[in-house]
Structure 1
């Protein structure tokens, strides 16, 4: 670790992710360079630990049981406005980035980031800066410039359940029904049901239209 990171030692950090092994990995990577004061695995546990410990920075996954990372931010910021949130997610989809930033996160980085970059990002967010992985910054600029219709993304996506969104993204990426079923540990018939529901809710006719719909919105 470079000397530039020595001032991170005083940071109090909470790690929020629904995968225990990932939380353990992050704690191992950053724990000797900052003070990890708690962890959360869903919206309820995340809000509770953040309110109790009042950390400087929360490393927050976007997809969480109970409503997602944006819901954690919405519940915390009204009473803990000094807590800074840095989204740390495997997703690089536009609606995830825009949604959590609109909720109040100060940055968004993907899980491919290395530990030194993550620590630097945490320090910058704690100091009040905004931090983004390079590609993701473009989504935010597009949203503010009007190139992405944020309201349309939110309104249409809100019609879909979490599982429907997962199925939609995989189908849009070219997965077969069988491959989607294997990826999500559900039956092919369940995949068919979800796809039919997605097409109906989005008023689309086939998977070709669905792929175009998702691509136009930078969802895949």
Structure 2
């Protein structure tokens, strides 16, 4: 079993209408050290929005096929209306169409994993999210990367390449390697707070709101080649 010792983001919003899947997610997160009071379970988008108006959600696990719509609506709500640009959002869904996954990532999802994966694979994805990484289900990652190439912000030019400082470019490359803020802090011998400030500056300069988008934009303009 891999190391389960990682930062716990509380509370966790679990937007999922299947009680069995809710129980599965709860059990997997409890293995990391989460307790029952750390969870907010919602079976519809409307209920999830109500909860998030009163509770400062720090991690969201979102299904897409819900009774009152598509979970992407809730991702949009967190990112745009609630301005939660740094809150990790992982989609756990049975939907595996390229277009749907692309829409979820474009809306600001930090990661996407299929429900069909076994418990260990989903736990690995959860750990990646909790440690500041971004993850896309391996079976669809290649297709998604191909989809993103040339379809991010139109006509990304060389000006975007020059706006990042050397330190920001260095941190962006470490992000692309899957390193968390804590790991970047240790590797560069700088405070984690300083790393987080650099990451926010990177987001602002590249006009993105997630690590996944920052990586794809950087690939498009040649920063990660």
TM-score of the alignment, normalized to the shorter chain, above 0.5: yes
Contact 1:108–1:133 at 8 Å: present in 2 too?
yes
Q: Which residue of 1 aligns with 2:6?
A: 7
* Length, aligned pairs only: 146
Q: Which moves more between the two structures, 114-123 or 104-113?
A: 114-123
Q: Following the alignment from structure 1 to structure 2, what is the Cα–Cα distance between the partners of residues 45 and 107?
A: 22
> What stretches of structure 2 of length at least 5 have no aligned partner?
152-225
Within 5 Å, which residues of 2 pair with 1:1-220? 1-2=1-2, 4-8=3-7, 10-12=8-10, 13-35=12-34, 36-78=38-80, 79=82, 80-146=84-150
Q: Following the alignment from structure 1 to structure 2, what is the Cα–Cα distance between the partners of residues 51 and 119?
A: 28
> So what's the TM-score if we normalise by structure 2?
0.58
Q: Following the alignment from structure 2 to structure 1, what is the Cα–Cα distance between the partners of residues 126 and 117?
A: 12
Change (3 A) 1:119 1:131: same
Contact 1:5–1:120 at 8 Å: present in 2 too?
no
Partner of 1:86, secondary structure, is strand
Contact 2:6–2:130 at 8 Å: present in 1 too?
no
CA RMSD of aligned residues (A): 2.3
Which structure has more helix as a fraction of its residues?
1
> So what's the TM-score if we normalise by structure 1?
0.59
Change (3 A) 1:121 1:84: same
- Shift of residue 49 of structure 1? 2.4
Q: Following the alignment from structure 2 to structure 1, what is the Cα–Cα distance between the partners of residues 135 and 58?
A: 15
Structure showing greater Rg: 1
Q: Following the alignment from structure 1 to structure 2, what is the Cα–Cα distance between the partners of residues 29 and 96?
A: 25
> What stretches of structure 1 of length at least 5 have no aligned partner?
149-220
